[in-house]
A and B are shown apart, each in its own frame.
Chain A
Amino acid sequence: MTDLLDILANPAFWVAVLRIATPLILGTLGVLLCERAGVLNLGIEGIMVAGAFTGWLAVYAGAPLWAGVAVAALTGMVFGLLHAFLTVGLALSQHVSGLGITLLATALSYFGYRVSFPKVNTPPTITPFAPMEWLPMPILNAQTALTLFALLLVPAIGWVLYRTPLGLALRMVGENPQAAESQGVSVAATRTGAIVAGSALMGVAGSFLTLSAFNAFFFNMVNGRGWICVALVVFASWRPGKALLGALLFAFFDALQLRLQQSGDAVLPYQIYLMLPYLLSILALVLVARKASYPQALMKPYRKGER
């Protein structure tokens, strides 16, 4: 018990929480944008891998760090466009299209990595983002600018969704596309825009792993984080503020299991601790399921003139 208190009293623990939360915040906001417009995007897992890879590759090739982030965002946008073409343009199954994109983006990234570095065993490294030591705030000054960006994005997206005509159009398209169309809102254009923007965030979420949390690209480094973001959006009832809360809560337990694992007196096999985040996600899904207010048109393809 004192162990637990020791862990919680240590600022390094909270630094870790915020660091673990960052890609989850970015990814969850990305999924949220897509789903608010009525489109499930299961491409996130692969888009994160691709963002992690291309962002890192750009920096390795000599680009500045922020250019690497931009490249990751661009990568996300390309896969987002593909998802939009398949699900909005052709009205194909959103589940299957997303899974296909995850498989494709992952395979392409691994292929690209192997072509670029055929013979290396230790992954080549870059100099990642430095912590913002100049910030006069504890915990936050141990984070990098990408974390600050993720935190600021939460109110920004909340503002766009609830306070701007664009946000209204986006929510309407996700709730009732027929009504939106009759108000002169283009369902196809709005959904495509939301998917592309959301996928850009997923790409950035991936780049955080290679450009900030670590300094190299590893196979399996995304390791299910994307799927957890999909679960977090449900947990957050599609609200940006709650998404932040969910990501932090989740990261809290993840950081805690890491510490408990390291504290040496762990009674259980370490795998049990590693399961916790996934069990927690499922539990969250079940708990929120009953009162979850899905965007009404989520996963329903919209074809003009068809019902």
Chain B
Amino acid sequence: MRLERRHETSRAALVLAPVGAVAFTMAVSALLVLWAGAPVGRTYALLLQGGFGSVFAWSETLTRAIPLILTGLAATVAFKARLFNIGAEGQLFAGALAAVAVGGMHGGTGFELAPWVLFPLMMLAATVAGALLLLGPALMKNKLGVDEVVTTLLINFIVLLGVSALLDGPMKDPAAMGWPQSVSLQSDLELGKLVAQTRVHTGLLWAVSLAVMVWAIFKYTVLGFDIRAMGANARAAAFAGVPVTRTVVMVALLSGALAGLAGAIEVAGRTSYVTLDMSPGYGYTGIVIAMLAGLHPLGVIAAGVFVAGVLVGADTMSRAVGVPTYIADVIVAASLIAVLVATLLTQYRVRMK
């Protein structure tokens, strides 16, 4: 088997590749539905209906999409520069914790700030927390050659244990009946609802604007150019005068900040406090979303909404026909692999000999 580079790749192929790959994955996953003893057609219909079939379904899907778009953007920024940030999960928790520390802990200290001052401070704290968490691994990679995948992964475990310790101790809400749960955010810091009677909050506008911002950075700024150059070929980029260390630092700060914001926006928009289960692996799913989107910031919005729909729909479907919700995770993970292969086939043709 041998790969030959194609001379040109059509735009249509680039868009159709992920769509085809996902369709292929759904077809193969039908075997799992059969294994679970459910009718395939009805199961998938329920899945789609649960994710996209009603105003309520859409509101739930969009709510779920908010952190996914943000962690997807975090992965996109980093992966584009070949900084494999697998630590978005930890950065998300760090951001959430920082947000609560700023927006929920000052009550009774006599240190009162107006919400319009406190809100930006809270978001800033979250971005700083997320960014700092990635800066270490990025510099260790750049200066010492320590593989960032392993360090960012290990830091996720450390952060989660740290969060757990804080939720048992200093940040525990005394009113939480013994549950490990942080104090709540001041209510005037919470994000407003986008649609009344649903859970969709204005965090969606944040997520979409940040996607556009990242897209603009890639397309119109020197930093964006440097990031793309480094991603294409780090050595050539350095040779051509791209400030590699500075770019790595900027990428780490930007990527970590986006993941940190994901945590803060979850807290401000949905939960209002931090718990250990506030994220069912949004950081990891963000990687898949970035890949599904072909590392395109605007594609991340579509991929985020799609994956959120599958996850939300799986809950409804599971209740109706009893197929375990884990099928959503299988579909998401298998889609990642299928999209990788499909994208490769748009660039190479396979010759058998």
Contact = CB atoms under 8 A, between A and B. Distances in A.
Bound pair (A, B): yes
Contacts of A8: none
B307 to A, nearest CB: 12
Nearest to B151: A282
Given A86-B337, A107-B329, A269-B169, A92 B344 contact: yes
B3 interface: yes
A269 B168 CA distance: 9
B164 to A, nearest CB: 5
Interface of B is mostly: helix
A230 B86 CA distance: 14
Given A90-B341, A110-B329, A231 B145 contact: no
Contact of A271 (B161, B288, B334): B161
Contacts of A97: 337, 340
Interface string B302-343: 000000000000000000001110110110111011001100
A42 interface: yes
Interface stretch (A124-132, A243-251, A286-294): A286-294
A101 B337 contact: yes
A281 interface: yes
Given A107-B329, A107-B330, A108-B330, A275 B161 contact: yes
Interface in B23-54: 32, 35-36
Interface string A112-148: 0011001000000000000000000000000000000
A58 interface: no
A111 B324 contact: yes
A192 to B, nearest CB: 11
Nearest to B288: A103
A202 B86 CA distance: 21
B153 interface: yes
Given A91-B3, A97-B340, A227 B35 contact: no
Nearest to A301: B3
A82 B288 CA distance: 18
B212 interface: no
Given A111-B327, A230-B150, A86 B161 contact: no
B32 A111 contact: yes
Contact of B337 (A104, A111, A275, A281): A104
Given A224-B157, A304-B2, A104 B334 contact: yes
B1 interface: yes
B188 interface: no
Contacts of B144: 286, 289-290
A228 B156 CA distance: 13
B168 A100 contact: no
Contacts of B284: 99, 103
Contacts of B165: 269, 271-272
A299 to B, nearest CB: 9
B157 A278 contact: yes
Interface residues of B, number: 46
Contacts of B344: 90, 92
Nearest to A104: B333
B161 A99 contact: no
Contact of B35 (A103, A115, A290, A304): A115
Contact of A275 (B145, B162, B330): B162
A105 B151 CA distance: 22
A231 B329 contact: no
A285 interface: yes
A269 B32 CA distance: 43
B31 to A, nearest CB: 11
Residue among B35, B145, B151, B330 with max Cβ neighbours from chain A (10 Å): B330
Nearest to B38: A115
B146 interface: yes
A73 to B, nearest CB: 22
Contacts of A118: 322, 324
Given A269-B169, A292-B145, A111 B330 contact: yes
Given A96-B340, A99-B336, A289-B144, 13 more contacts: A42-B149, A86-B341, A90-B341, A95-B84, A103-B329, A104-B336, A111-B324, A115-B32, A227-B157, A278-B155, A285-B151, A290-B144, A292-B145
Interface of B: 1-3, 32, 35-36, 84, 86, 140, 144-147, 149-151, 153-155, 157-158, 161-162, 164-165, 168-169, 284, 287-288, 291, 322-324, 326-327, 329-330, 332-334, 336-337, 340-341, 344
9 tightest A-B contacts by CB? A114-B324, A107-B329, A103-B333, A271-B165, A104-B333, A111-B326, A271-B161, A269-B165, A107-B330
29 contacts: A82-B337, A92-B340, A95-B149, A96-B291, A99-B287, A100-B336, A101-B337, A104-B333, A104-B336, A104-B337, A107-B329, A111-B329, A115-B35, A115-B36, A118-B322, A224-B153, A271-B161, A271-B162, A271-B165, A274-B161, A275-B162, A278-B154, A278-B155, A279-B158, A281-B150, A281-B154, A285-B140, A285-B147, A286-B146
